[in-house]
A and B are shown apart, each in its own frame.
Chain A
Amino acid sequence: MCTVRGLVKTYPAARGRRGAPATPAVRASDGIDLDVVRGEVFGLLGPNGAGKSTLVRQLTGLLRPDEGRVRVLGHDLVRHPERAARLLGYLGQDSTALDELTVSLAAETTARLRGLDTRAARAERDAVIEELGLGELAGRPLKKLSGGQRRLACVAAALVGERPLLVLDEPTTGMDPVARRAVWAAVDRRRAERGVTVLLVTHNVIEAETVLDRVAVLDRGRVIACDTPTGLKALVADEVRLELVWRAEPPLDVPEVADLRKAAEAARSADGVTGRRWTLRLPPEAARAAIATVTGGPAFAALDDFTLATPSLEDVYIALGGRAEGAEGLVKA
């Protein structure tokens, strides 16, 4: 369906200008291999600057890779980037091109530009507006809508005109749960009825767990893991996450509690001690013992709340060595 081999893209170094320091060359794609199977919802997960959008822009023919191969449905998109527009529907992060149009005109114009004739374009427009529940907003310009509504209108524009592959760059940013559900229902329907494949860029780990068939975790231009969400979670299956919230000073004179604090303080970046909240990653046995300690005796009097959870994709991400904060830029070439 979609095969990527050895994809490399380096952004050249920029000279420093007044007020803007020089930036070194950045390897935004560093030998990426991917296989997306027909009919699956495939996710790209990673922090800001991990190279997700760069990868997607190369898959959609918007950016020419320095090296490597991109094949979509049997077409070589490195050699023929112009074919991408006839194979896939793309939802970018920006809506400037549509901002001043009304929702219905944005969908209709996009359908016309996807090669549909007037009648077909209007039919598609009406169908997608109905499907996404945009009826009441149809006559309003995108500019006047809230962020989530505008995003939904952009999704409508991306969905008009049949395409076997949909590439969606953070489609549900800013949406309320109703809109979110409408988007996933629309995507799912296209997959069930026409076998549409979806390539999804996302930040949202919870969403990733519920809608994705497979995930590639990107970090610094590399795929650091690629599996089903469940498969990825199995990588850290030997640990559970325990969160303790104290209402008062925790009784550190109890040796077990003192040990827990030490363990929390030694934890990796996203965990640890923040005020009266301790987050720990423990083997299930140790977690059970810890809970027995804090739910009895003097510790229980000081305990406000505790939660115990199986690993999320976020835990996987941290366990794989991705950066939790995403503070620094991409790795230098």
Chain B
Amino acid sequence: MSVVPALSGASGTAGVPGVSDAPAGLSGASGARGASGVPGASDGSGTSGEAGDMPAPLAARARLLPALAAVYRAQLSRARVARIPLLFVATFQSVGIMILMRGVVDGGSEARSVVAGSSVLVVAFVALNLLAQYFGQLRASGGLDHYATLPVPPAAVVLGAAAAYASFTVPGTAVTAVMGSALFQLPMAHLWILLAVIPLSGAALAGLGAALGLLAPRQELATLCGQLGMSAALLLGVLPAARMPQVVSYARDLLPSTYGVEALARAFDGQPDWWAICADLGVCAGVAVVSLAAATWAYRRAAVR
């Protein structure tokens, strides 16, 4: 019984004719493709030497602003997929801190700094922490290659991503500031100052976050740096400065988010000291320029290894 299927099986495969075909096929050795450009090229030495004579024209570079806009738009669209839950977390965290602190501080300048600190904490969470993680991940996985093989100015990639992350913080920061003002009965008349505080402190912290993410030798370190930066912004920004030891208050002065916090806290005064606010925001702007320049340099360094 078993012989019959075996017979048909054996003759059904490549079979004996294949044997006689094989040498012919091999010695023939001329596929349609094989015949095309091969004979000259196969020995490899100097056949395409003529290519060296006339350099081919280079394709156009992407200009800074359009490229920045394209990166910004692409990054903003990511929010729909990945960022919205994290924005909720950032906002709830800040609101929770304010509710906790209500039992500790009672009005006055301390309440102002708690609300200002919690609001800017949202910026630190998103712009510093999440951006450091994003660039750390992009660098570790080789995702930077995508941008590095496109003719974009490095600044466009860094600024576009930083601007998008700073934009993510707008709703959370605004919600936190308004809820905090209501919670501690602070005047909301000058809350429009957020329009300056968010972009300036956002730029400073996003630049810092991007630089950390791109410079950290490993992805985990980038995440760690981002988390530490955010914790620093939390402790040094939210806790009232007057109760801190001397050393810690120096550290507070070094953190760029502090100046955003101060500017916002001053704006809760009935008669804000506008010069001091401008000075604080000026520091934010200065740090933003330096940190974004550092991030751009770090991007160049990370992209070509």
**Contact among A57, A94, A108, A288 with B141 in the assembled complex (CB-CB below 8 Å):** A94
Number of chain A residues close to chain B: CB under 8 A: 89
The 8 A CB mask of A85-104 against B (1 = contact, 0 = none) is 11111101111111011100
Residues of B close to A307: CB separation below 8 A: 13-14
Q: Which of B73-81, B181-189, B280-288 contacts A (4 or more CB under 8 A)?
A: B73-81
Do A305 and B9 have beta carbons less than 8 Å apart? yes
Q: Is residue A272 within 8 Å, beta carbon to beta carbon, of the partner chain?
A: no
Residues of B close to A60: CB separation below 8 A: 149
Do B305 and A63 have beta carbons less than 8 Å apart? yes
Do A74 and B59 have beta carbons less than 8 Å apart? no
Q: What is the CB-to-nearest-CB distance from A57 to chain B, in angstroms, rounded to a whole number?
A: 8
Which of B7, B19, B141, B149 is packed against the most chain A CB atoms within 10 Å? B149
Do A85 and B151 have beta carbons less than 8 Å apart? yes
Do A86 and B22 have beta carbons less than 8 Å apart? no
Q: Which of A28-36, A130-138, A177-185 contacts B (4 or more CB under 8 A)?
A: A28-36
Q: What is the CB-to-nearest-CB distance from A305 to chain B, in angstroms, rounded to a whole number?
A: 5
Known interface pairs A35-B48, A284-B19; A85-B149 also in contact (CB < 8 Å): yes
Do B62 and A114 have beta carbons less than 8 Å apart? yes
Q: Which of A157-165, A251-259, A320-328 contacts B (4 or more CB under 8 A)?
A: A157-165
Residues of A close to B81: CB separation below 8 A: 100, 141, 143
Bound Cα distance from A226 to B38, whole angstroms: 11
The 8 A CB mask of A185-203 against B (1 = contact, 0 = none) is 0000000000000000000
Number of chain B residues close to chain A: CB under 8 A: 76
Q: Is residue A40 within 8 Å, beta carbon to beta carbon, of the partner chain?
A: yes
Nearest-CB residue, chain A, relative to B23: A284
**Contact among A74, A96, A231, A295 with B34 in the assembled complex (CB-CB below 8 Å):** A231
**In the complex, chain A residues 70-87 whose Cβ is within 8 Å of any chain B Cβ:** 71, 73-75, 81-87
Residues of A close to B67: CB separation below 8 A: 112-113
Do A287 and B9 have beta carbons less than 8 Å apart? no
Q: Is residue A308 within 8 Å, beta carbon to beta carbon, of the partner chain?
A: yes
Known interface pairs A3-B48, A64-B304, A115-B62; A100-B82 also in contact (CB < 8 Å): yes
Known interface pairs A231-B29, A247-B6; A37-B37 also in contact (CB < 8 Å): yes
Do A213 and B27 have beta carbons less than 8 Å apart? no
The 8 A CB mask of B48-91 against A (1 = contact, 0 = none) is 11011111101111110011001101100110011000000000
Residues of B close to A288: CB separation below 8 A: 16, 19-20
**In the complex, chain B residues 16-56 whose Cβ is within 8 Å of any chain A Cβ:** 16, 18-20, 22-23, 25-27, 29-31, 33-34, 36-38, 40-42, 44-49, 51-56
Nearest-CB residue, chain B, relative to A300: B6
Bound Cα distance from A74 to B304, whole angstroms: 21
Bound Cα distance from A110 to B73, whole angstroms: 12
Q: Is residue A117 within 8 Å, beta carbon to beta carbon, of the partner chain?
A: yes
**In the complex, chain A residues 252-306 whose Cβ is within 8 Å of any chain B Cβ:** 284, 287-288, 291, 295, 300-301, 303-306
Residues of A close to B70: CB separation below 8 A: 108-109, 112-113
Residues of A close to B156: CB separation below 8 A: 113
**In the complex, chain A residues 184-230 whose Cβ is within 8 Å of any chain B Cβ:** 212-214, 226-230
Q: Is residue B108 within 8 Å, beta carbon to beta carbon, of the partner chain?
A: no
Bound Cα distance from A57 to B2, whole angstroms: 57
18 contacts between A and B (CB under 8 A): A2-B48, A3-B52, A62-B149, A82-B151, A83-B58, A87-B56, A105-B77, A110-B146, A115-B62, A117-B66, A214-B38, A227-B38, A228-B34, A229-B34, A240-B22, A288-B16, A295-B16, A308-B14
- Which residues of A come within 8 Å of B, CB atoms? 1-3, 33-40, 57, 60-64, 71, 73-75, 81-90, 92-98, 100-102, 105-106, 108-110, 112-115, 117-118, 141, 143, 157, 161-164, 212-214, 226-231, 233-234, 237, 240, 247, 284, 287-288, 291, 295, 300-301, 303-311
A sample of 6 more A-B contacts (CB under 8 A), given A2-B48, A114-B59, is A85-B148, A92-B149, A105-B73, A112-B67, A229-B33, A288-B19
The 9 A-B residue pairs with the shortest CB-CB distance, nearest first, are A96-B143, A74-B55, A73-B56, A112-B70, A97-B146, A230-B34, A90-B149, A115-B60, A86-B58
